[in-house]
Structures are given as structure tokens and as C-alpha cells.
Amino acid sequence: MALEHLRIASRRSQLAMVQTNWVKAELEKAHPGLAISVEAMATQGDKILDVALAKIGDKGLFTKELEAQMLVGRAEIAVHSLKDLPTNLPEGLMLGCITEREDPADALVVNANNADYKLETLPEGSVVGTSSLRRLAQLRHHYPHLEFKDVRGNVITRLEKLDAGDYDCLILAAAGLSRLGFGDRIHQIIPSAISLHAVGQGALGIECVEGKPEVLELIKVLEHGPTASRCLAERAFLRELEGGCQVPIGVNTCIEGDELILTGMVASLDGLRLIRDERRGAVSSAEDIGKGLADDLKSRGAGEILKEIFASVRPEA
């Protein structure tokens, strides 16, 4: 039976609404006559802004409330930044579609006083704002002379804090800046040799209820095969490591012909230990590539590093 009204669950943050409205517009173009509405709400991660993300825990931090709407029949799909979507989903839900990825790299944004510097030339003691343990660990590894300070809030709030002089620079996702119209604030794209990006960064994931082929049929028009293959490899890598989006696990993927190349890393919070490697294989074996690379890193001590991190950042009861 054809669906006549599609309800989309979304976070109400500015970036989330930009992303959700893009999905809505694309689906309306693909399915003329389909009524589509957006149910926007705040998630736990949006409400708690005075505690570091790693201290809250990341199991559904930005997704749980949206998933609840689908499970009780108040929405058919939810739109997420794929990097926020846990690799193990609640029973009854599935990842139905992965959209074409924007630049997944991290970006350096500076205040006016530091316009003449790049990341590698920032003076000793410069204050770098980031709420990501992944970015923190990699930057500490390469630039131990810099100082790092947690920063929370939406992108606009973070930029305001930067421009007010609270930080010398910020590290943010290039994709988020571009989607919000702040692409001109990107001072430097940080190369993957320095900072591997988050799993799924730059892509959107559309989650839906299992067993509803009429919904899958509607959203599959937005599926981007190469992005999906890359992100499935990345998510398999993260799942095998039993990590979440708030631990120092980074990736980079590319496709060359019929081959998918996955680079992955695990680092200690102080940046002193960083284990990094790559694995190649057929695009059709994306998830096997991710699992295999995770096993490679675990054999070199990644598991022990992650155990120490989980113990140190475990949320308080």
C-alpha cells in the first residue's frame, strides 16, 4: 500500500533542521504528491551543554528521542548526522539509507588574531577548542605544545565564543560549516595524515522501522552507493572495536576502481600512543574490510587503549 504521508523525526538544532529540510525537499522532488512533515525535538545531547560529551556517554545521545518517535508510530523515518548514529541500533529499527557524503574532513577555524597561522604554525600555548576526544588525541599526538579546551554548543555558539577570544582556534567538521553557510570560515582543511575523521562524518543516515518496504522504497532514492560502501566499512570498524562516537577512533576511506581502502586509528587520550593502519579489499566486502582492520589494530594493542579510555571517561552514576 502506497504511503500518503511521511513523518520525519529530527533534532531541532539549526544544523539538524538544515539537513532534515534538505532530505524533505529531495523526497518531495522524487515523490510529487507525497505529504511530508517534520517532527522536531531536542535530544539529551542538545539539552546538556555544561558537561563534556565523553562524560555523558554516547549511547543514543543525539538519537534516542527520535528513535522513540518511530517505535511508537509517530514518525516513519529519522534523519541523523551519520556520525551521531550508534553502530548498534534498537531492536525494530534499521539504517535505511545513506546519502551522498560532503567533505568528511576536519577543518581549522581561527579568530582574527590568528589569521596568519596554520595548524602546524600556531604558537606554543595556543588554545584550541574541541569537544571531540578523537580530534584531541590526534592533535595532542602531533602538536603537544598546544593547549586544548572543551567547547560545547551549536556551531554558531562555538563561533561566537571563538570570535570573543575564548579560543585561538576551533576544530569543526567541514561539512557542518558548509551546510550552515559558514564555508568561508574554513581556514584550513586538516589533512588525513594529521587527523582522521569520525566514522560517517559528512554523510546523513536515514533511520526507519524494519518491515516497512513502502518506507524503504521512498527513501532509497537518496541512497549514494559509494558513500554507503565507505560508511558501512567505517561503521563495521567502529562496531568491532566496540567504540562509540566519543572515543579516539578515526577513519578515512576512498574507493579506487573496484577497491575500497580504509585507514583507521585508535589513540590514547594523551596522544602518546597512536595505532594506525589500513586495509584494502573489494567494495562489495566493505564490512569485512572494517572488521578485519579492527582486528589488526586490536592485535597491536588498540583494545587495551580503549579499555583504559572507557575506564577514565565512564559517565558517573
Residues serving a catalytic function are 84
Q: How far apart are alpha carbons 116 and 118 in whole angstroms?
A: 7
Total length of the chain: 317
Cell numbers found for residue 11: 533534532
Q: Strand (E) positions, the chain?
A: 5-11, 35-41, 77-81, 93-98, 106-110, 127-129, 147-149, 169-173, 188-189, 204-209, 249-256, 259-267, 274-282
251 CA to centre of own chain? 11
Beta strands in 28-105 (DSSP E): 35-41, 77-81, 93-98
Q: CA-to-CA distance for 242 and 300, rounded, in angstroms?
A: 16
List beta partners, residue 259.
Answer: 256, 282
CA distance 12 to 39: 9
- Here the cell at position 287 is 564490512
Do 207 and 91 form a contact (C-beta atoms < 8 A)?
no
